[in-house]
Structure 1
Amino acid sequence: MKIRRFGAFLSAVLIGSTLVGFSPKSIEYNHTSSPAITQEETETSIVNMQALLDRLEKDGEFSSAAVSRALKTHITAVGHYESSKSYKKAIKHMESFYVLLNSYGNKGMISENADNLLRDYADALISKWDTVFDSDRVMDYLHQLSVEIGPRVAGTKGEKKAAEYLKNQFQSFGYETSIQEFSISNRTERTLKILNNNKELALGAATGSSVTDAKGVTGSIYHAGLGQPGDFTDDAKGKIALVQRGENSYWEKVQNATNAGAIGVVIYDNVDSLTPLRPALNNNSTIPVVGTSKELGESILAQLSKGDVKANLIIHTHANQTSQNVIAVKKPANVVNPEIVYVTSHYDSVPYSPGANDDGSGTSTIVELARILKNFPTDKELRFVAFGAEEIGLVGSNYYVRNLPKEDLDRSLINFQMEMLGAKYEPASYLAVNTVDGKANTAWDYTNNAFDKLGKDKEKLILFKRGSSDHVPFHNAGITAACFNMGTANGGLEPEYHTYHDTIENISPERLQFAGDIVSKAIFDFLIDHNNQEKDLKEAS
């Protein structure tokens, strides 16, 4: 592909003018039969590129009407992607426009002047789109985190795999990246893996259950109805009993299973719930016991109707556990001790949950913000931090802030924390700016102004008093901080929250784009308004 001639300068101008358009100086088209192109016509847009094609055709810069028609058709198709804010796709299809120009240029079917003008315009459009928040890209990052990697429980292989993925993404944008490791408390693993399809089911802890070694117990599933004495036969020996909640106590079910020689018990709920059952045995069992949901229990029964089902059940505590923060830094050139702006999220999830919204959506959003800010002309130091171990008590963010040197704390300006931005749940259409004390601060002010500048419905913006996310340690350290999430009008969350149904299927790209447009605008404007170099220049003049 042809090297883009506008490069960093275009990106700087675009962002500096808050992405309202750019008039490339090299696009100056004057022809004896056409009036000069006006300032409005040189502003970078698909509409103006189509107008340029009309001019070029009128002035005989193409060898035939068929050439003009093919170029216009291609640009019209690209325009559809721009209109739907599918900027990644728009860029991909605009890049293929170069191939079309190469073909016509090699055959002498367009003039050299037309070829240069159209390439310059395509360059300008691609550079413009490349600095716009794109939910298509966010969904790509989210697919890797929630589908390809899946649950990312603190201390597990899934969390560490996600950390490496994020580090590689930040590095690909040119950031200085590092992994900050820290210790976490012991982790109790509760796993029921159906070996027939290698799938793990969401479980609830049973108080009074025994534990297993790291390998757990393995055997066929035995359906024992309600776990009454008559529901067990000699065939239950050496198997994992599946019993339904109801009629007799949890402990009676477990006793009957133990007496029958079962090596484990799975109790499934008798009412629909998105969270697994957590049986209270009120006694100490000699075999491992877990609970699960009605939906998942019935899914095992459905498999049993087709034949033998084998499973592995583990209840084991892992010691000496670690988690990690992923840190990406962009330092401004020629600035000593720059002020720091933090854009953060947490990438771990609760057990069994793919964590698509909590907080895969927030983490994927900061990756996209890192991408569009990678060439941003600012005298601030940008730090993107994806925290581990948030779900077990904000461990990663507390560790990070607690270990900041005093000189870094003194330079810290503001923290924008992204949390749960994409729920498809219909009532969750409000952007909440959560502050620890519930009071408006600078992050709120810029978000409020972004709603006005972008023409968004202000009824969809709420200020909410809430901690429980990674903005809290920053606030406690005296740094202005706010957490952004999409929720209901009263601050509520979607029903899939902290369940195994927090999947990518329940994510709305439109919600991600809505939140991303606003938050990116707020951050852009904050950086522009707080550019000390720019202020110094104005004062000097």
Structure 2
Amino acid sequence: MTIISAAALRTHISELTRHGPRHHTNPAATGPVLDYLTGRLSDSGHRVVVERYGDAPHEVNLIADAGRPADGPIVEVCAHWDTVAGSPGADDNASGVAGLLEIARVLAADPPTRRPRFCLFGGEEDDVPFTGSRAHVARLGGDGVHVAGAVVLEMIGYRDATVGSQRIPAGLRDGLRGVDGLDRGDFVAVVGSIESSQWLAAFQAAGWVQEPSLPVVPLPVPRRQGGDVARSDHVPYWDAGLLAVMVSDTADFRNPHYHRSTDTVDTLDLGFAAAVATAVTDAVRTLSR
């Protein structure tokens, strides 16, 4: 049984946020944060490779795996480690990074047939977004590993079950008509391209088996649909013709602390984050058979 605890996520998020914004305007955070991430992945038995996409200290991706994957396409599990200027980024995106660290720990100890690869991207919050993930996707295949696609963790820690706490982007309202409970911010959204229906189904099934069950709302959209569904590191995978899903608490459509100095660990529901990370672990295991 997968065990990911709220306490472990709090430890990771607290460490990631204590140096201030993980932004190039705060260079004092870059070294300690990258050292922490490398240490935790290495402690879980992963080989960590530094993937530079520029000369600046913050222009760094970390790529980790626990051994050569079996023949066949693998899944990459991803999150961006940087923040906007002025925000400690507990939800955006220390929550996603913390979830990745715990998923990596669990799947290294009990790996599926095709071991996933774990990617921590810089540059998601750059003025030109997704610089880290774009550089990574451009290099895919150079090591002989076939990547089927990616699961991108983009803010997984904020829950508010109050009626009226959740807003829905205008471009998605028609497709979600008849789905109950979308006025409460107590679900996790999984956004994927139309072609990723099997992936979306795996996440929904993984939510059902949680105790208590985790509401998972799958959102299939066209790859070329921009706007609010195209705001994270799944986009370079889509542009390359690969499958990718974004797992999200819906960011500013729920969380009032988005991109603010108040985005701190004490605003998060870490039991919710643990349930999301557990569901992602189980879904990745299903997708990696």
TM-score bin (small chain)? 0.7 to 0.9
Q: Please report the TM-score for the alignment, with normalisation by the length of structure 2.
A: 0.80
Q: State how 1:312-331 maps to structure 2 within 5 Å.
A: 322-331=58-67
Q: Which amino acid aligns with 1:482?
A: V
- Aligned counterpart in structure 2 of residue 389 of structure 1, from 119, 123, 127: 123
CA distance in 2 between partners of 1:464 and 1:439 (Å): 8
- Aligned counterpart in structure 2 of residue 369 of structure 1, from 103, 125, 140: 103
Q: Please report the TM-score for the alignment, with normalisation by the length of structure 1.
A: 0.44
Deviation at 1:526, TM superposition (A): 2.4
3-state SS of 1:423 partner: coil
- Aligned counterpart in structure 1 of residue 249 of structure 2, from 471, 475, 486: 486
3-state SS of 1:133 partner: coil
Tell me if structure 1 keeps the 8 A contact 2:207–2:215: no
Closer/same/farther in 2, CA of residues 457 and 174 from structure 1, 3 Å limit: closer
Tell me if structure 1 keeps the 8 A contact 2:137–2:236: yes
Deviation at 1:448, TM superposition (A): 1.6
Q: Which amino acid aligns with 2:203?
A: T
Q: Which amino acid aligns with 1:498?
A: H
Per-residue CA deviation, residues 248-270 of structure 1 (Å, 9 max, x unaligned), is xxxxxxxxxxxxxxxxxxxxxxx
1:142 aligns with 2:13: yes
Closer/same/farther in 2, CA of residues 144 and 374 from structure 1, 3 Å limit: same
CA distance in 2 between partners of 1:402 and 1:351 (Å): 27
Tell me if structure 2 keeps the 8 A contact 1:331–1:382: no
CA distance in 1 between partners of 2:132 and 2:72 (Å): 24
Deviation at 1:330, TM superposition (A): 1.8
CA distance in 1 between partners of 2:149 and 2:278 (Å): 19
CA distance in 1 between partners of 2:86 and 2:160 (Å): 20
Q: State how 1:50-129 maps to structure 2 within 5 Å.
A: none
Deviation at 1:356, TM superposition (A): 0.2
Q: State how 1:40-439 maps to structure 2 within 5 Å.
A: 131-147=2-18, 149-154=19-24, 156-183=27-54, 322-332=58-68, 335=70, 337-392=71-126, 393-406=129-142, 408=144, 411-426=146-161, 427=165, 428-435=185-192, 437=193
Deviation at 1:408, TM superposition (A): 4.3
Tell me if structure 2 keeps the 8 A contact 1:429–1:487: no
Match of 2:182 in 1: none
Match of 1:442 in 2: 198
CA distance in 2 between partners of 1:514 and 1:322 (Å): 31
Deviation at 1:482, TM superposition (A): 0.2
Q: Which amino acid aligns with 1:146?
A: T
CA distance in 1 between partners of 2:263 and 2:245 (Å): 24
Closer/same/farther in 2, CA of residues 138 and 408 from structure 1, 3 Å limit: farther
Percent identity over the alignment?
24
Closer/same/farther in 2, CA of residues 505 and 342 from structure 1, 3 Å limit: same
CA distance in 2 between partners of 1:463 and 1:327 (Å): 28
CA distance in 1 between partners of 2:117 and 2:261 (Å): 31
Per-residue CA deviation, residues 298-340 of structure 1 (Å, 9 max, x unaligned), is xxxxxxxxxxxxxxxxxxxxxx66510011112247x4x4532
Q: State how 1:2-21 maps to structure 2 within 5 Å.
A: 19=1
Closer/same/farther in 2, CA of residues 407 and 326 from structure 1, 3 Å limit: closer
Tell me if structure 2 keeps the 8 A contact 1:429–1:460: no
Match of 2:270 in 1: 509
3-state SS of 2:76 partner: strand
CA distance in 2 between partners of 1:451 and 1:378 (Å): 19
Between Structure 1 and Structure 2, how many residues are aligned? Answer: 257
1:474 aligns with 2:231: no
Tell me if structure 1 keeps the 8 A contact 2:22–2:88: yes
Tell me if structure 2 keeps the 8 A contact 1:151–1:352: yes
3-state SS of 1:366 partner: helix
CA distance in 1 between partners of 2:116 and 2:204 (Å): 22
CA distance in 2 between partners of 1:321 and 1:523 (Å): 31
Deviation at 1:451, TM superposition (A): 2.8
Per-residue CA deviation, residues 71-103 of structure 1 (Å, 9 max, x unaligned), is xxxxxxxxxxxxxxxxxxxxxxxxxxxxxxxxx
3-state SS of 2:59 partner: strand
Deviation at 1:161, TM superposition (A): 2.3
3-state SS of 1:325 partner: strand
3-state SS of 1:522 partner: helix
> Bigger relative contact order, structure 1 or 2, given CA contacts below 8 A and separation 6+?
2
CA distance in 2 between partners of 1:327 and 1:164 (Å): 13
Q: Which amino acid aligns with 1:324?
A: V
Q: Which moved more, 1:499-508 or 1:460-469?
A: 460-469
Closer/same/farther in 2, CA of residues 141 and 332 from structure 1, 3 Å limit: same
Closer/same/farther in 2, CA of residues 505 and 175 from structure 1, 3 Å limit: same
Tell me if structure 2 keeps the 8 A contact 1:440–1:463: no
Please list every run of 5 or more consecutive structure 1 residues that lacks an aligned counterpart in the other structure: 1-18, 20-130, 185-319, 531-541
Q: Which amino acid aligns with 2:285?
A: F
Deviation at 1:460, TM superposition (A): 5.0
Deviation at 1:376, TM superposition (A): 2.1
Per-residue CA deviation, residues 95-142 of structure 1 (Å, 9 max, x unaligned), is xxxxxxxxxxxxxxxxxxxxxxxxxxxxxxxxxxxx512221111111
CA distance in 2 between partners of 1:418 and 1:481 (Å): 11
Aligned-residue RMSD, C-alpha: 2.5
Please list every run of 5 or more consecutive structure 2 residues that lacks an aligned counterpart in the other structure: 166-184, 222-228
Q: Which amino acid aligns with 1:434?
A: V
Tell me if structure 1 keeps the 8 A contact 2:197–2:220: no
Closer/same/farther in 2, CA of residues 522 and 157 from structure 1, 3 Å limit: same
Match of 1:495 in 2: 256
Deviation at 1:493, TM superposition (A): 3.1
